[in-house]
Amino acid sequence: MRELIAPLLAWYREGQPFALATVVRTWRSAPRQPGAVMAVSAAGEALGSVSGGCVEGAVYELAQEVLRTGVPELASFGVSDDDAFAVGLTCGGTLQVFVQPVTPQSYPEFPALAESIQSSTPVAIATLLDGAPAPGRHLRITPEDTAGALGSPRLNEAVRDHARGMLALGSTGFLHIGADGEQRGDDLSIFVESFAPPPRMLVFGAIDFAGAVARIGKFLGYHVTVCDARPVFATAKRFPEADELVVMWPHKYLAETTVDERTAICVLTHDPKFDVPLLELALRGNAAYIGAMGSRRTHEDRLTRLRELGLTESELSRLSSPIGLDLGARTPEETAVSIAAEIISLTWGGSGRRLAETDNPIHRPQP
C-alpha cells in the first residue's frame, strides 16, 4: 500500500472508484506476504500485485465484479493437484485475498489513512472481512485516536487495543474475535494492517562502503542516516541516497537519537576511538541488528576493549563482526549485499545457507 498510496489517493480525490485487493492470509510458500495489494480502477487500470503474477488475472476479474456490485469479496487461491497451471499458485502455496470497493461512501476513512501513510505517521487500519454487521467496515487506529466503526463500541475498543499493540511492533495480521469484542470468540475475522514509520538504518563512518550500504538500505525500505564526525566526508554529494546526514561523534549521536527493536546499526568507522564508545552504547541498547566492519584481528581487539568496559558475554554476542555473510564479497557493492543478507537472515530466522541445500520452508512466518 505504501508504494501505491499516491496514485490511489489521486483516484479517490478525482471521484474515480477503484477496487482494492489485499492479501490477508497466506499458507506455505505463497509468493507475497499479507498486506500486498493490487488496485483496479473503474477505467480498468491495474496497479500493484498480490502474487507476483500467479493469480493476477483472476483477481483482476474479481475486482471488476466487485466494482460492478459494490459488494466486497473474500477469495482463496491455491494450487490444484490435477491442474497446477490453472488459476492458482504453481509454487504450492495458498493465499486469501479480500477485494473491496473504495469510494467515499464505502471507505470514508481512506483519505486520512493515506495522509498518515504519506507523512510516516503511525496508523493501522482494521477491516472486517466476514460476519455481521457487514464485511468491508473499517476502523482507523492511531496511538492517539480512532475513526470509523466495525460494530458495537465494545468491539471497536477490543480491536483498537489489539491494533495498537500490533502497530507498536509494526506487524500486520489476522484477528479472530467475538461479535461484541469477546477475546475468546471467533465470530468475526478482522485484518489489521499496520503502517509504522520505516525502520531506521544507522550507518556510522562516511567511507565508500557506507555509500553502498546506504543505497541498499534505501532499497530495503529503511530510513537511512549516515553519521561521521568529519564534515569533509559526510556530505550530500557523497551520500545522495541517505535520508539524513549527521556530522557528530558517533556515540554522542547514538545517545540522543531514537533506536528501537527494528533499527539496524552498521559500524564502518574502522577506528577504535569511534568504534568502541559507539559499540559500548549500541550493545546495551535494543537495536535489532548491530554489525561492525573490520578484520578478525580488529574484532578480537574490539572485544578485549569492550570487555574492559564491563560488557557481558551476552551483550557481546549481539555483535555481528566481522559484519555480513560469507559471500566472498570484495567491492563496496558486494559487501553491502552481504550485510543486507545478514540483516534479512537475522530478521526472518534464515540460515544463510543456499536454498538448494535446505529443505525448510522458503518463506518464514513473521517473528
101 bridge partner residues: 19
Positive or negative: CA dihedral 280, 281, 282, 287: positive
Helix, strand counts (H, E) of the chain: 10, 16
3-state secondary structure of 48: strand
d(CA 285, CA 253): 14
C-alpha cell at 94: 495458498
Spatial neighbors of 301 by CB under 8 A, at least 6 apart, are: 272
* DSSP string of 212-266, one letter each residue: HHHHHHHHTT-EEEEEES-TTTS-TTT-TT-SEEEES-HHHHHHHS---TT-EEE
Contact 238, 209 (CB under 8 A): no
Q: What is the pLDDT of residue 130?
A: 84
Instruction: Examine residue 133 and say whether the peptide bond preceding it is cis (omega within 30 degrees of 0).
Output: yes
Q: What is the pLDDT of residue 56?
A: 82
Which residue, chain included where needed, has cell 535520508?
A: 243
d(CA 97, CA 77): 8
Q: What is the pLDDT of residue 85?
A: 38
* DSSP string of 118-158, one letter each residue: HTT--EEEEEEEESSS-TT-EEEE-SS-EEE-SSSHHHHHH
Q: Quick one: how far is CA 103 from the chain centroid?
A: 27
Residue 325, CB-side half-sphere exposure with 13 Å CA sphere: 16
d(CA 350, CA 367): 11
d(CA 263, CA 274): 20
Q: What are phi and psi of 60, to 5 degrees?
A: -60, -45
- Show the CA angle centred on residue 296, arms to residues 290 and 299, nearest 5°: 45
The percent helix, strand, coil of the chain (3-state, each to 5) is 30, 25, 45
The 8-class DSSP code of residue 106 comes to T
Q: What is the pLDDT of residue 4?
A: 92
Contact 18, 11 (CB under 8 A): yes
Q: What is the pLDDT of residue 32?
A: 64
Instruction: For residue 78, count CB atoms less than 10 angstroms from its CB and return exposed for 0-12, middle for 13-18, buried for 19 or more.
Output: middle
**Farthest CA pair distance, the chain:** 70
d(CA 23, CA 222): 23
Instruction: Examine residue 153 and say whether the peptide bond preceding it is cis (omega within 30 degrees of 0).
Output: no
Contact 282, 267 (CB under 8 A): yes
pLDDT tens for each residue of the chain, 367 residues long = 888 999 999 999 999 999 999 998 887 655 567 888 999 999 999 999 887 666 888 899 999 999 999 999 998 887 543 433 344 444 556 788 999 999 999 999 999 999 999 988 899 999 999 876 678 999 999 988 999 999 899 999 999 999 988 887 778 888 888 888 888 777 899 999 999 888 899 999 999 899 999 999 999 889 999 999 999 999 999 999 999 999 999 999 999 999 988 899 999 988 889 999 999 999 999 999 999 999 999 999 999 999 999 999 999 999 999 999 999 999 999 999 999 999 999 988 888 888 888 877 665 555 5
d(CA 285, CA 280): 9
E strands, the chain, are 18-27, 37-41, 46-48, 73-77, 94-102, 123-130, 138-141, 146-148, 173-177, 188-195, 200-204, 223-228, 244-247, 264-267, 289-292, 319-320
Q: What is the pLDDT of residue 80?
A: 47
Q: Which of these, 335, 248, 318, 242, lies nearest to 280 by C-alpha position?
A: 318
Contact 283, 307 (CB under 8 A): no
